[in-house]
Amino acid sequence: MAGTMSPSQVELDETAVENFREYLRIPSVQPNINYDACVVFLKKQAQSLELPIKIYHVHPEKPIVILTWTGTQPAKPSILLNSHMDVVPVFEDKWTYPPFSAHMDEQGNIYARGSQDMKCVGIQYLEAIRRLKLKGQRCERTIHISFMPDEEIGGVLGMKDFVHTADFKALNVGFSLDEGVACPKDHFYMFNGERPIWHVGIKCAGSTGHGSIMLDNTAGEKLRVIIDRFMEFRGAEKAKLKDPKNQLGDVTSVNLTKISGGIQTNVIPAEFYATFDIRITPSVDHEEFEATIKRWCEEAGPDVTYSFEKKDPKIENTKLDDSNPFWLAFKKCCDEIGVELQIGIFPGGTDSRFVREVGIPSICFSPMNNTKILLHDHNEYLNKDIFLKGVEIYTKIIPAVASA
C-alpha cells in the first residue's frame, strides 16, 4: 500500500505459506472439477500483486488463467511460467490428515494433495514475483504466469488445444518453465524432454467352443504370445536401469494395465483384449517400434490386431546448448546460487510436451530437494522451509531467463 512500510522477510514468508495453504484447500480434484474457486483465488492474487489477469476459455468450464507482468522490452519473446490447477484423486482413509486441510505439523510439513504436484510451483512463481516487485526490479521480457486446467487427465481440453489458438500466439512465448519432480537428495532434478505416451490395445480373436475341448487357434494361446513378447521387451529395458547412469526417462517402460474377455468359465472366449501403457524414450524410432508391435501380433497368429487409445508423436527435446540462450541463462543462474542439477528425460508427462510441439523450448523444474517423491501418493506433503527456499530460487531464475 502507498505510504506504508515494505513488509519484512518474516511477513513475506508468512504470506507465501498462507497463500500456498489456501490454494491447497481448494479441492480441485479430478474428475469433473469446478474451477471457480481457483479462479476467485487467482483473481485475489493478481489484485494483491497489481498484475492484470485474463481468463481464456478454449472449452467451456475449463478456464485458462494468465497473470502478466509486462517487461521493459515487451516486443521481445516472453517467458511462460506454467502450472496446473487440477490434482489427482485421493484415498482419504490412507491419509494421516484430511487431504485438503493443508495441515502443517511441528516439522513444518504441509500435507495436502497438490503440495508437490504442483500447486507449490504456481504459488512459488507468484511469491517470487511479489518479492521482485517489492524490490523495484523489472525484467526485460514480459512474464506470463499460467494456471492450466486438466493437466492430470492429459491436458486435452487445456494446454493441448490452447497452444494452437490465436490467444496463445499473441502471448509471443519464447521460453517456458513447467513442473519437475521432488528430489530426495541435495541436488535438483531438471528435464528437457519427455517420453511420448502410447496406450496400445491388442485384440486376440480365435476359435470358440466348449471349455472341455482342446481347440487350435484359441484367443488365449495368442494372448500368451502377446504378453510374452511385451514382457520380454520390458525385461530387457528394465535391466538397463541396473546401470546407475540410466534413469527411468532413458528407457522405454511397458506395463500391462488391462486384460478383458470371456463370458463364462466353461466357454472358450472368442476374443481377449490386453492393454499396455508404453512410455517411449526419445532415442527410439517410432516407426520401427510400431513395426515391432505389428510383428509381435503376426507371431501370435491370425486375427491378432493392435490399435491405439493414445499415440503421442515424437517431440524434439529442448536443446541444452549454445543455440538456446534461455538454457544458458538458467544454467548460469543455477551455478551461481548453488543449485546442482541432475538433467534427464521426464519419466511422466506434463503440459510442456505441447509447448515443445509448437517449437518453444521448455524446461521442467520444481525447486524441491531433500524431499521424498510423493506425487500422486498418499500423504503428499512439502516442507514449509523447502517451499520458501523454492520461492527464493525463483527470485533468481525468473529475472535471469527474462533477461536472456
**Domains in the chain and their CATH numbers?**
9-194+315-402 (3.40.630.10), 197-311 (3.30.70.360)
Secondary structure (DSSP) of 138-188: --SS-EEEEEES-GGGTSTTTHHHHTTSHHHHHT-EEEEEE-----SSSSE
Which pTM does this prediction carry? 0.92
How much is the average pLDDT of 128-146?
98
Q: Quote the CA–CA distance of 108 and 117 in Å, as a whole number.
A: 18
DSSP per residue over 65-112, as a string? EEEEE--SSTTSPEEEEEEE--B----GGG-SS-TTS-EE-TT-EEE-
The total of other beta-carbon atoms located within 10 Å of residue 7's CB is 14
Residue 348: pLDDT band by 50, 70, 90 thresholds? Answer: confident
Q: Does the structure show a pLDDT above 90 at 2?
A: no
> What is the mean predicted confidence (pLDDT) over 335-342?
98
β-strand 362-365 against 173-178: which pairing, if any?
Answer: parallel
Residue 320 has pLDDT above 50, yes or no: yes
Mean pLDDT throughout 35-53?
98
Round to whole Å and give the CA distance between 31 and 86.
Answer: 9
Phi, psi angles (nearest 5°) of residue 272 = -125, 145
Q: Which residues contact 306 (CB under 8 A, 6 or more apart)?
A: 200, 201, 202, 203, 293, 294, 297
User: CB-based burial of residue 169 (10 Å sphere; 0-12 exposed, 13-18 middle, 19+ buried)?
Assistant: exposed
- Structure-block grid coordinates of residue 124: 512459488
Of 86, 179, 312, 351, catalytic: 86
Element (H, E) at 127: helix 119-134
- Residue 1 has a pLDDT of 46
Integer Rg of the chain from CA: 24
Q: Quick one: average pLDDT of 239-247? A: 96
For 66-105, write each residue's pLDDT tens digit: 999 999 999 999 999 999 999 999 999 999 999 999 999 9
pLDDT above 70 covers a percentage of the chain that reads: 99
How many helices (DSSP H) and strands (DSSP E) are in the chain?
10, 17
As a whole number, mean pLDDT of residues 156-171 equals: 98
Sequence letter at residue 47: Q
- pLDDT of 6 reads 80
What is the rounded average pLDDT for all residues in the chain? 97
CA distances from 233 to 159, 251, 276, 327 (A): 33, 11, 12, 35
Inter-residue contact 205 to 297 (CB < 8 Å): no
- pLDDT value at residue 388: 98
Dihedral pair phi/psi, residue 54, rounded to 5°: -130, 140
Task: Write down the pLDDT at residue 4.
Answer: 60
152 catalytic residue (yes or no): no
Q: Which whole number is the average pLDDT over 333-362?
A: 96
Contact 5, 95 (CB under 8 A): no
The secondary element (H helix, E strand) that includes residue 272 is: strand 271-279
> What pLDDT digit, counting tens, does each position of 264-291 carry?
999 999 999 999 999 999 999 999 999 9
Active-site pick, 13, 117, 151, 351: 151
Q: Are 109 and 101 in contact (CB under 8 A)?
A: no
Q: Is 151 a catalytic residue?
A: yes
Would you state the cell numbers that stand for residue 160, as one nine-digit string?
Answer: 493441448
